[in-house]
Chain A
Amino acid sequence: MRRGTSILFGVLFLTALGGCDGRHNWMAGAGEEAAAIGDLFLILMVGAAVIWSLVVGAAVYAHRRRAHPGLEREARLFVIWGGVVFPVLLIGALLVWGLFLLKGITADEGDLTVRVDGERWWWRVTYETPTGDVVTANEIRLPQGRTALFRLTADDVIHAFWVPALGGKMDMVPGRETTLALTPKKLGNWGGLCAEFCGGAHALMRFDAVVMAPDAFETWLAREAETAQVAADDPGFQVFLDEGCGACHTIRGTQAAGPVGPDLTHLAGREKLGAGLYEMTPEHMARWITDTHAMKPDIDMPPYPHLSGPRLDTLVDFLMRLE
């Protein structure tokens, strides 16, 4: 029985450690804010370990020794200083430290501003630039070493914005704006996710947070700002319009201007399809359209099971050209 329990705990512990690996690792040191929280965590853990050892050590010592009624006064003083005054001061200091750390993370200035609106169950992303807003969705690219200020809102229910490797998290509340500053240090594609249960597809509400070299980022942002190059007689675009996709989706530079779903202007430029879920391949795209709710249950997009053959192929081919 005891052996079984310890094996079980061992396995659980190792499984939990698995969570410390990879692109969601909050201890990866990929962002300054995550690193600051990591330092606080380390000091808390080490401090707690030291204090715990001292307390347990004292208890063991007291248990072993014979009682000394003559030392009652000293014992009471020890309890008062060690058990009341010291913890109050220590917790007070930790409180102030943690608050200032939080204040820095929720600061309201940055080198660039990104607005993110939490929708069920995807992310509407808007970069504020001197020449106007650049709208995209489900993928957030950031320049290395610059502080990005996120202005977070929510459409109808509460979500939470979290890129564990970079920092956070921060609630997204309907009717309010919350802020979060992230300063990425390491290049790479770090995973982001919704960290507040928000309904059916909550666990499938993810995104990629791609940290790029600053000039590569500028190039990307300039491309993202451009409208889509769609020929008026593009057969795939005809299917897109005929099926009514344009009622929900926007492709900037065309007559499709639906506000309901993600902006598709540069859809194929994203690494993933469906809010950080599937590799962006024609096969996934076709299934997304025909078997939508098997790909992502509960979402507001209707499936198009009747689309097949060349018609589906032209539509998918068109979407995969939206780079």
Chain B
Amino acid sequence: MPKVTRYDAPRVIDSGSIWILVAAPTIWAVHFLLSYWVAAVYCAKSGSGWLGGLTDPRWIIVGLGGLSIAAIVWLGMIAVRRYGGVFVVLEEITDSSEQGRERFIGHVALLLCALSAVAIVFTVIPGLVFDRC
């Protein structure tokens, strides 16, 4: 009965393990928000000598971007280790089994990690070019 085996594996969504998909874009969004907050606070306070003067704004920008990308790399490693994600484009991941679905999630998570990392770099670049308020 081939029809039945198609649906035999438990749906991953029920096992609650798809958080890995949203994690990387969430970091991207949080980094984006933080960039605005940190810049606003920095620009408001830099005149008053609090924080400002001490630190070159570039270091804050690089630090924030570096931390976010490190978090994404760590997520990428989880996607590979725990989900068996692979970074391939020449092969389709279409297995209809529990393991196949996990691999698919790992694969998508990896691609999202790459996308989010590129997006964060694009957010960091303007901060590096404009090192002032």
Does chain A bind chain B? yes
Q: B125 to A99, Cβ gap below 8 A?
A: yes
Given contacts A76-B89, A76-B90, A80-B89, contact A103 B122 (CB under 8 A): no
B36 at the interface (CB under 8 A from A): no
Q: B122 to A95, Cβ gap below 8 A?
A: yes
On chain A, the residues within 8 Å of B122 by CB distance are 91-92, 95
> How many residues of B sit at the interface, in one of the four size bands?
under 10
* Proximity string of chain B (18-42) to chain A, C-beta cutoff 8 Å, 1 when within and 0 when not: 0000000000000000000000000
A100 at the interface (CB under 8 A from B): yes
* Proximity string of chain B (114-126) to chain A, C-beta cutoff 8 Å, 1 when within and 0 when not: 0000100110011
On chain B, the residues within 8 Å of A201 by CB distance are none
On chain B, the residues within 8 Å of A92 by CB distance are 121-122, 125
On chain B, the residues within 8 Å of A88 by CB distance are 118
On chain A, the residues within 8 Å of B13 by CB distance are none
Q: A99 to B90, Cβ gap below 8 A?
A: no
On chain B, the residues within 8 Å of A96 by CB distance are 125, 129
B50 at the interface (CB under 8 A from A): no
A63 at the interface (CB under 8 A from B): no
| Shortest CB distance A81–B (Å) | 10
On chain A, the residues within 8 Å of B90 by CB distance are 73, 76-77
| Shortest CB distance B133–A (Å) | 9
On chain A, the residues within 8 Å of B129 by CB distance are 96, 99-100, 103
Question: How far is B122's CA from A91's CA once the two chains are assembled, in angstroms?
Answer: 9
> Closest residue to B114 on the A side, CB-wise?
A84
Q: A103 to B130, Cβ gap below 8 A?
A: yes
> Closest residue to A100 on the B side, CB-wise?
B129
Given contacts A73-B90, A76-B90, A80-B89, contact A99 B130 (CB under 8 A): yes
On chain B, the residues within 8 Å of A103 by CB distance are 129-130
The listed residue (A76, A77, A95) touching B125 by CB distance below 8 A is A95
| Shortest CB distance B117–A (Å) | 11
* Proximity string of chain A (98-115) to chain B, C-beta cutoff 8 Å, 1 when within and 0 when not: 011001000000000000
On chain B, the residues within 8 Å of A80 by CB distance are 89
| Shortest CB distance A171–B (Å) | 14
| Shortest CB distance A170–B (Å) | 14
> Closest residue to A99 on the B side, CB-wise?
B129
On chain B, the residues within 8 Å of A100 by CB distance are 129
On chain A, the residues within 8 Å of B121 by CB distance are 92
On chain B, the residues within 8 Å of A95 by CB distance are 122, 125-126
Question: How far is B122's CA from A96's CA once the two chains are assembled, in angstroms?
Answer: 9
| Shortest CB distance A308–B (Å) | 54
* Proximity string of chain A (164-178) to chain B, C-beta cutoff 8 Å, 1 when within and 0 when not: 000000000000000
Q: Which residues 45-103 of A have a CB within 8 angstroms of B?
A: 73, 76-77, 80, 88, 91-92, 95-96, 99-100, 103
Q: Which residues 271-304 of A have a CB within 8 angstroms of B?
A: none
> Closest residue to B118 on the A side, CB-wise?
A88
Q: A99 to B126, Cβ gap below 8 A?
A: yes
| Shortest CB distance B108–A (Å) | 15
Question: How far is B126's CA from A91's CA once the two chains are assembled, in angstroms?
Answer: 13
Question: How far is B131's CA from A38's CA once the two chains are assembled, in angstroms?
Answer: 25
> Closest residue to A80 on the B side, CB-wise?
B89
> Closest residue to A106 on the B side, CB-wise?
B130
Question: How far is B14's CA from A177's CA once the two chains are assembled, in angstroms?
Answer: 54
Ranked 10 nearest A-B pairs via Cβ: A99-B129, A80-B89, A76-B89, A76-B90, A99-B126, A73-B90, A103-B129, A88-B118, A95-B125, A103-B130
14 residue pairs from A and B, CB less than 8 Å apart: A73-B90, A77-B89, A80-B89, A91-B122, A92-B122, A92-B125, A95-B122, A95-B126, A99-B125, A99-B126, A99-B129, A100-B129, A103-B129, A103-B130
Known: A95-B125, A96-B125. 14 other contacts (CB 8 A): A73-B90, A77-B89, A77-B90, A91-B122, A92-B121, A92-B122, A92-B125, A95-B126, A99-B125, A99-B126, A99-B129, A99-B130, A100-B129, A103-B130
